[in-house]
Amino acid sequence: MKRILALAALLAWVAVPAHAQTSRFLGQWVNTTSGAALPHVFIGSSSAVGAVTVQVWAKCTPTPCDWGRQIGVIYSTGVGISPTTGAVAVTAVFPTSYSRSTVVIRPVGTDRIEVTVFTQFTDNSGRFNFTSHDVLQRQ
């Protein structure tokens, strides 16, 4: 019986995303993996309700490319849950002349975030859309 209860508790924990305050996302984030697709992310506060600013640096040679700063939208798990206290994800879109990258950020534990980027090419170049995934640590 104890095993069944422990298994049920584990499944409930895995199935439900961790809630965090919006402030949990704020700050400088660095990738500790050498050669990672995203070496650095900055998330700042915004005057808009339910929003933050997101700035991303991507892997380029010889130095990381600054994608600029965009407004990030904060998501909670339900229409009645404030993103200020129940934030589970942030998204931001970074358009260029040849692509559109959608960034999804989720908290991992207390001092890390996972960042998934979905890149869609919009220039009819024949390149295939792709995704990348990185885990960054608070600096």
d(CA 25, CA 47): 15
Q: Model confidence at 19, in pLDDT bands (50, 70, 90)?
A: low
Cα-Cα-Cα-Cα dihedral sign, residues 108, 85, 45, 70: positive
Is residue 28's pLDDT more than 80?
Answer: yes
Is residue 12's pLDDT more than 60?
Answer: no
Domains of the chain with CATH codes: 18-138 (2.40.128.30)
Mean pLDDT of the chain: 87
Residue 48: predicted pLDDT:
84
> Do the Cβ atoms of 105 and 41 come closer than 8 Å?
yes
The pTM of the whole model exceeds 0.75: yes
